Structure 1
Amino acid sequence: MFKYLIARASRHLSTNVCQSAPLSDITKVWFTPLPKDAKWVAPLQMHYIENGMKKDRDIVKIFNGVMVVLFNVSRQKLIYVRQFRPAVYHGLITGNSFEMPKGCIDLVKYPPEIAVTLEPCAGVAELNKSPQESARDEILEECGYDVPTESLQLIYQYRSGVGASSAAQTLFYCEVCDEQKVNAGGGVHDEVIEVVDLSIEEAKEYVKTGATVSGGPSTLLATLWFLSNKA
């Protein structure tokens, strides 16, 4: 089963939509238990009584997020980002097993490129900012466009990962032009992000029925919304 998953991911990454040089040089991968002072997630257990029966459910608290369907009207291109996702890598090499991989991972057998995703511009919803302000910051940091918050159109507010995490997500639509491009993008701090432009036809091909999408539900949601409402 693992070989099938790896082969399928590798085939998908070789398509024209995702084809590109490696994002970075990942030379060593290993896994450890989550420390108590983890920065981005907090596991906990909820206990409750429903219809007279005591129930326990595992929950992983994560930050709320913002995402943007970004469309360059100058070039008629949808703008996405590519990045290596450790959680996707872990999921691909472990399948449906909870057993933690031991030792260093064989990077020849499991090349990091299998976990490079294509996603809409996105990030954490900052506690001291509105969702629009957080989205504007992400557009500038990841994709290099400087846009006013007024240009962000609200599409959806919803919950992701409702079985375990249920973070609030806010999805926006924003049109940009070449004149608003002020830097190359690529993220900040230790982020390694590549900006990818897709034509409308490439986007249609990417989300066609039966496709294997190298990204989360937000990639499908954002792309299908655009194709249904703007294309």
Structure 2
Amino acid sequence: MEQINNIQVVPCTSSDILKPFRVHYSQNGTRKSWDFMQTHDSVSVLIFNTTRHCFILVKQFRPAVYMCEWEKSQPEKVKEKVSEEAGKDASKGGEPGAESAETETDNAELDSGHIQDIPPASVGVTYELCARPVDKPDLSLEEIARQEVLEECGYDVPVTKLRRITSYRLGVGVTGAKQTMFYAEVSDENCVGVAEGSRQASEGELVEVVKVPLHEAIRFAYDENIPKTMGVIFSFVWFHSNMSPKYKISTNV
């Protein structure tokens, strides 16, 4: 997860995950436009292990987070690289041989000449809830959530044991997709022997399962030095507000 190299920034001409659009509309008599991305809705699951009194999160490398951090540290170089690649994409009508050689040269420069300016992979690693896009229309949200808990974290949880917390919108300025959050209590007995925590490399993901002790959860949620999603913060606060009497824990921050 920590070994990131051979970085190439290129235009995205097509994607199975994101589709860019521009909408034109009138609001109170004023003509406006807005750019947005169409993507899948998703589910997320707050997992609490009752045997060990800890939360089960996943940690993974997020290229979008990494590129944001890279751009903040080297804004001009990142913009320059994007402009170069966009220019090459727009000039595909030239001689193929020359274009191929130019691309190879640029890639070599990125790998060797700028390698000292590339931030460590750790700046793109985030802590998240177990989550998955809603990309199986024949399954209910609960069934999709159950499958992801099993595949990503190695816990076999019956659908009937999933408690729906709420749903909300993500990235309202860019995607507006809806995420539905569930709560699941598991025990060590529910852990099936699927290498707790590692997603198959063939699926394009490298996920590490991490445990956050119950007594450290609120500190974890508010620690700005720990990169995490808003779902982690909200779900930990929800747990302390709704489940603390059951486990007789303090909600003091």
> Hey, what's the Cα distance between the residues in 1 that align with 2:16 and 2:80?
22
User: Is the 8 Å Cα contact of residues 43 and 59 (structure 1) preserved in structure 2?
Assistant: yes
> Hey, what's the Cα distance between the residues in 1 that align with 2:116 and 2:233?
29
The answer on 1:196 being equivalent to 2:210 is yes
1:48 to 25, 32, 36: 25
User: Is the 8 Å Cα contact of residues 28 and 107 (structure 1) preserved in structure 2?
Assistant: no
TM-score of the aligned structures, taking structure 1 as reference length: 0.83
| Structure 1 residue 101, shift from structure 2 partner | 5.3
Q: Which residue identity lines up with residue 152 of structure 2 in the other structure? A: E
2:199 to 173, 187, 190: 187
| Structure 1 residue 79, shift from structure 2 partner | 0.3
Please name the residue that 1:32 is paired with. 10
Runs of 4+ in 1 over 6 A off after TM superposition: 96-99
| Structure 1 residue 179, shift from structure 2 partner | 0.8
> Hey, what's the Cα distance between the residues in 1 that align with 2:234 and 2:44?
11
Please name the residue that 1:88 is paired with. 65
Structure showing greater radius of gyration is: 2
What is the identity percentage for the equivalent residue pairs of Structure 1 and Structure 2?
35
The answer on 1:221 being equivalent to 2:225 is no
Please name the residue that 1:206 is paired with. 220
1:100 to 68, 72, 79: 79
> Hey, what's the Cα distance between the residues in 2 that align with 1:226 and 1:212?
22
**CA 1:158–1:107: 2 relative to 1, 3 Å:** farther
TM-score of the aligned structures, taking structure 2 as reference length: 0.76
| Structure 1 residue 24, shift from structure 2 partner | 4.6
> Alpha carbon RMSD of aligned pairs, Å?
2.0
> Hey, what's the Cα distance between the residues in 2 that align with 1:55 and 1:206?
41
Please name the residue that 2:121 is paired with. 112
Unaligned runs of 5+ in 2: 82-106, 245-253
The answer on 1:172 being equivalent to 2:172 is no
Deviation by residue 1:163-183 (Cα, 9 ceiling, x = unmatched): 111101000000001111012
Indicate the structure with greater strand content. 1
Please name the residue that 2:171 is paired with. 161
Q: Which residue identity lines up with residue 132 of structure 2 in the other structure? A: G
**CA 1:140–1:49: 2 relative to 1, 3 Å:** same
| Structure 1 residue 107, shift from structure 2 partner | 6.0
User: Is the 8 Å Cα contact of residues 65 and 169 (structure 1) preserved in structure 2?
Assistant: yes
User: Is the 8 Å Cα contact of residues 47 and 55 (structure 1) preserved in structure 2?
Assistant: yes
> Secondary structure at the residue paired with 1:172?
strand
User: Is the 8 Å Cα contact of residues 43 and 180 (structure 2) preserved in structure 1?
Assistant: yes
User: Is the 8 Å Cα contact of residues 82 and 117 (structure 1) preserved in structure 2?
Assistant: yes
| Structure 1 residue 201, shift from structure 2 partner | 2.2
**CA 1:212–1:24: 2 relative to 1, 3 Å:** closer
Aligned pairs, number: 207
1:135 to 127, 135, 145: 145
> Hey, what's the Cα distance between the residues in 2 that align with 1:211 and 1:202?
14
| Structure 1 residue 106, shift from structure 2 partner | 3.0
